[in-house]
Amino acid sequence: MCRSVKLSTGGFIMSTNTVERSVEACALDAATLCEAFQISAATHPERVAVRTSGDAVVLTWAQYAEQVRRTAAGLVALGVRRGDVVALMLTNRPEFLWVDAAAMHLGATTLGVYTTFAQEQVDYVLRDAGAVVAVTEKAFVSTLLQARKGCPRLVHLVSVDGGQGMLSLEDVDTAGDPGFDLSASWPTVDQHDVVSLVYTSGTTGPPKGVQLTHAGVIANARALHEAIPAYRAGFSAVCYLPLAHIAARVLEHYFGLLLGGTLTCCPDLNDLGATLVETRPSWLFGPPRMWEKLQASVTAAVTVESGDQLQEAIETGLRLVRAQQAGEQPSAALVADYARADALVLSGLRARLGLDRIETAAVGAAPVPSEVIEFFWALGVPLCELYGMSEVLISTVNPIDRVKIGTVGVPVTGVEVRVAEDGEVLMRGPSVMLGYLNQPEKTAATIDAHGWLHSGDIGELDGDGYLRITDRKKEMIINIGGHNMSPANIEARLKTSSPLIGQAVCIGDTRPFNVALLVLDPDAARAFAVQHGLDGCSVSALTRQRCVLDEVAAGVARANTQLSLPEQIQRWTLLNSEWLPGGVELTPTMKLQRRPIATKYENEIRALYQ
């Protein structure tokens, strides 16, 4: 049975009904992703499977299946066999999807390589994985040519758009046997075969290759099909996060194969807003920073447009969601006020953002301030926090009809969650990874003899079984007075204290007091500049403007009122830089890289303590 949950026009009154699982969803019963792909392609051949913005590329499921067959034949001609590793260093483009699917149909394992990796990191993951073929695009050809020098197994380099010294993908397809029978290949793939290697982003030390099996991915898909209303047959999504990362690879690409979804590839994060408006997806996942930037853009619009009506509508929504989260029954007047605000203002705003068809939105991968989730519920966007890791996929989800903001939800079907005596969150279930490639010691240190995966996160379970993540086990701040503090909690307070604060890093371990490195949010900063007569002033120049510094100072002061005395920020500096995903400071999914930050800004930190 599938559960269907819908947000009512009243805003937050939910209704739940059950329907028979359609024949379109029977791919969830497949043993492998190859079998699921074939079921989806046969069930709805005319449905669009993959596209790009503006329909520059459009593939129906029938066309997708034929392209997978052609590329699989070409890979066989290159010598790819079951158990081989095919590396993909590509932006979010259709070729990534069909080459990945072609390789899995041969029983090969695919490896996504972050396009933001430094040369040394690319060299390491290709050598560690033992890749025999690498598929890339022109922008990264020189990186792979250099990497091949230290990777003896890497025989073939393929480019989808040209480049000296490379095979073209079209040449690979053409070299394949035109009569190649894919149906004789994919049934030999076993559910316990490794379908994908996902390398952790390596915030502390070299990346580790997480081995995901067909069975593990499908088990997680079945659980999320039950837990998330948007995960139904034919869902639509924008594929914009790096496909080397677990979120886009599994939650969009692999689940798309299982549910016959439609994916729109968005290779440039700067185009996400326009792509959302064009596609109006039914499902959207993003890390906290994506949602924070979206909130900042709405806040900026209110400021620039002097949108009193919009501000009042949002405040009405906030009153409603906060009443419900407090366990109160909203008054009839408040429900009516929100319904009116939704009809007159908020529905139009959702359409402007491309979020008017969202059935479920999700946030995860890093700590998210509760205020961000409240904001989107106030807008009428059902944003639910979930929790998972590359090593175990998605473990907990907030049920959309009983969300507890501030928690990451309850365990999904088949996954057990418990908290160890030291507060560490442990998980066990069918989606747990096979292990880290070539690292049995680290595998044993992560998965104990009873099958429990040790997350490294600190958390607590409430009386209703909802999990709350409070910090990373190894990122706790212990100052010289012996006070234990969560930097993530402090940083969340700083970022919600002022729209100008886009990034915050709290420093204080083994030190007498806490200080912070702060970075402006570029969207909010530009709106602030317009409001204060500083049009045309660059974000860099704004960091030196007195009115900007005063607003940031006021924000830090507001954050400090919500923190204990040891937690409070005593000194801070506003950095003259912008932190981008995949740079020194942030992983591709915008998690803080604390050690590189501490090294890069050593002088600034030292100055704060002088």
pLDDT in tens, 346-400: 999 999 999 999 999 999 887 788 999 999 999 999 999 999 999 999 999 999 9
Residue 9's pLDDT is 27
**Per-residue pLDDT at 562:** 83
Residue 21's pLDDT band (cuts 50, 70, 90): very low
Specify whether the backbone of 306 is left (phi greater than 0), alpha (psi in -120 to 50) or beta.
left
**Is the confidence at residue 318, as pLDDT, over 70?**
yes
Query: Which pLDDT score is estimated for 293?
Result: 86
Top-level class of domain 30-286: alpha beta
Report pLDDT for 500: 92
65 or 13, which is more confident?
65
Q: How far apart are CA 506 and CA 490, in angstroms?
A: 7
Planar angle of CA 471, 295, 457, nearest 5 degrees: 10
Q: How far is CA 369 from CA 315, 318, 366, 485, 573, in A?
A: 18, 15, 10, 17, 22
Task: Please tell me which of 219-223, 241-245, 585-589 the model is most confident about, judged by mean pLDDT.
Answer: 219-223
Count the neighbouring beta carbons within 10 Å of the beta carbon of residue 19: 10
**Which of 568, 566, 573, 549 minimizes the C-alpha distance to 558?**
568
- pLDDT value for 523: 86
Answer yes or no: are the C-beta atoms of 225 and 63 closer than 8 Å. no
Contact criterion met (CB below 8 Å) for 520 and 574: yes
Of 9, 10, 7, nearest to 332 by C-alpha is 10
Q: Give the class (CATH, top level) of 481-608.
A: alpha beta
Mean pLDDT in residue range 294-321: 83
CATH 3.30.300.30, the chain: domain bounds: 481-608
Q: Residue 509 has what pLDDT?
A: 85
Beta strands per DSSP E along 402-513: 410-411, 416-419, 424-428, 435-436, 453-461, 467-472, 477-478, 484-485, 501-507
User: Is 417's pLDDT higher than 90?
Assistant: yes
Element of type H or E holding 372: helix 370-379
Strand 133-136, strand 167-168: pairing: unpaired
Give the mean model confidence (pLDDT) for residues 410-420.
96
Number of separate helices (H) and strands (E) present in the chain: 22, 28
pLDDT of residue 17: 32
**Per-residue pLDDT reduced to its tens digit, 473-505:** 777 787 776 677 778 878 988 998 999 999 999
Neighbours of 324 (CB within 10 A): 17
**Where are the CATH 3.40.50.12780 domain residues in the chain?**
30-286
Residue pLDDT, tens place only, 24-41:
457 899 999 999 999 999
SS3 518: strand
Q: Confidence class of residue 462 from pLDDT cuts 50, 70 and 90?
A: very high
Distance, C-alpha 170 to centroid of its chain: 31
Name the β-bridge partners of 110.
Answer: 86, 196
Tokens 């998965």 -> residue? 447
For residues 515 and 607, give the distance between their C-alpha atoms in angstroms, rounded to a whole number. 10
- On whether the pTM is more than 0.85, the answer is no
Instruction: Give 320's pLDDT tier (boundaries 50, 70, 90).
Output: very high
